[in-house]
Structure 1
Amino acid sequence: MTRRVQETTARPETVDPPTAPAGGARAIAIEELTLPGMPDATYREQLLATMKSLPPGGFERLCQRLLRESGFEEVIVTGRSGDGGIDGHGVLELNPFVSFRVYFQCKRYDGSVGPGAVRDFRGAMMGRADKGLILTTGTFTSDAKREAVRDGVPPIELVDGERLIGMFEELELGLTPRKTYDVDLEFFKPFKE
């Protein structure tokens, strides 16, 4: 629930600021989604902020759900450290004769994922999967995009924050659709006479 929605309910006058974990980085708390100065954040901004606020395991499980909803089968989050950046794997069946084993990596980033992350992930999945998938709330550098489709190596599909939001919209996953209307002024013209 975002702060905009919470404003209609009682809430404490003071809120302790979130503490930053070791390393200085911190996840965005759910209550911080509608930031001061951003009271009219779009649902796309709120969705992205919500994804960034999830703990690493939660974001991995969210990506697992997205992959399942997108037609992947046997999607498993590995949740192991020391796995070379592999967060999970699944099978994408194109038809009864063709299927692909896909390994995926999930990155909650504000910034850009570079080519080194793509190379490292490819190295971890080599010989284990037909294709790789990196999902991020951030973006990918142009070098990372080139590295993902480099000749002679398994391809890595890159899904940035904008594309990720588009997938959630298409599947209506985590989003509640709303019906709205525009007034048809032409309809009312005959009644003005």
Structure 2
Amino acid sequence: MARQKSEFARWLGPVLDALRALGGSGKPREVCDHVAEHANVPAATLEATLKSGQTRFYNQVHWARQYLVWEGLFDASTHGVWSLTKAGYQAKLDEPAARKIVAKWVKIHAAARKSSSPGEPEADEATAAPETDEEQGAVLLEILKKVTPEGFERICARLLRESGFERVTVTGRPRDGGIDGFGVLQINPFVSFRVLFQCKWYKNTVSRAEVGDFRNAMIGRADKGIILTTGIFSADARAEAEREGAPPVELVDGEKLVSMFERVRLGVRERTIYEVDHAFFADFMGSET
């Protein structure tokens, strides 16, 4: 059981290497994609999901990043960009070293919890210092999965408007190749793009065939297509969306959907919270902790 809970430890080294390869900073999705590609992560692992709908791999990479922050190898910024510290640029981690880091911080958190709440059980890798933003994202995604399919189409249209699209219309036409609506993105006074979108109110995986069918339906009708889903896209679906020589299709999965809602403050309220910086206090604790 402990082995399963600390399974994310194997990603500490690859995540560190990914940030170095990306020039020291990167968006979470960029880091995940880099790790998946260079560590040859199998499709089944990339598509496995938690009860929240978040992919298990994405969740584990985020936990790996959190431990690297506590260790002082990643910057603690929470503005959607991960970055290395000076120590992070120089550090190299194999899996045994990564597991030592995890064990060290689990022990620190357990000691901190025990001192603040003596009757409380010790924390482990699954419960130590949960990431509030991640938890709230999971709640938002779960709510999106509970709206009606028609409601999801309307809320996606609202999201597109809030993101700068104009003349957004939900067509609601059956048997239209999966086209749920269209909009216009004005880049500047001289350039605009007509965009078709499809809303997949899914709890599972969008396949390559579905991306291909959508592209076929949009050819000759728009400059670009967008598929928005509460689920995830298979690795083959992502490859199909980026296929060279074919009209581009932008894929927005549940995780990206949540970040877009947060970015435009749609359906969410901003709040300021403070998290205890255990790394700061670690140097002041006795050797027994």
Could you state the TM-score of these two structures normalised by the residue count of structure 1? Answer: 0.71
* Residue matched to 1:174: 267
Provide the secondary structure at the position in 2 that maps to 1:54.
Answer: coil
**Aligned equivalents of 2:248 and 2:276: distance in 1?**
49
Structure number with the higher strand fraction is 1
Q: Is 1:100 matched up with 2:193?
A: yes
**Displacement of 1:147 after TM fit?**
0.5
Q: Percent identity?
A: 60
**Aligned equivalents of 2:246 and 2:158: distance in 1?**
28
* Residue matched to 1:147: 240
Count the aligned residue pairs.
146
Q: Is 1:161 matched up with 2:161?
A: no
* Residue matched to 2:150: 57
**Aligned equivalents of 1:122 and 1:54: distance in 2?**
26
**Aligned equivalents of 1:67 and 1:126: distance in 2?**
21
The correspondence for 1:85, drawn from 171, 175, 178, is: 178
| 1:8-47 to 2 correspondences below 5 Å | 42-47=135-140
* Residue matched to 2:92: none
**Displacement of 1:180 after TM fit?**
2.5
Provide the secondary structure at the position in 1 that maps to 2:262.
Answer: helix
* Residue matched to 1:71: 164
Q: 1:183 to 1:120 in 2, by over 3 A?
A: closer
**Displacement of 1:42 after TM fit?**
2.4
**Displacement of 1:181 after TM fit?**
3.9
**Aligned equivalents of 1:93 and 1:112: distance in 2?**
31
* Residue matched to 1:137: 230
Provide the secondary structure at the position in 1 that maps to 2:145.
Answer: helix
Structure number with the higher helix fraction is 2
Deviation digits for residues 1-51 of structure 1 (CA, Å, limit 9, x no counterpart):
xxxxxxxxxxxxxxxxxxxxxxxxxxxxxxxxxxxxxxx992211111111
**Aligned equivalents of 1:161 and 1:65: distance in 2?**
16
Aligned partner of 1:73: which letter?
A: E
What runs of 5+ residues in structure 1 fail to find an aligned partner? 1-39, 187-193
Provide the secondary structure at the position in 2 that maps to 1:83.
Answer: coil
Deviation digits for residues 49-88 of structure 1 (CA, Å, limit 9, x no counterpart):
1111111110000000000000000000001111110000
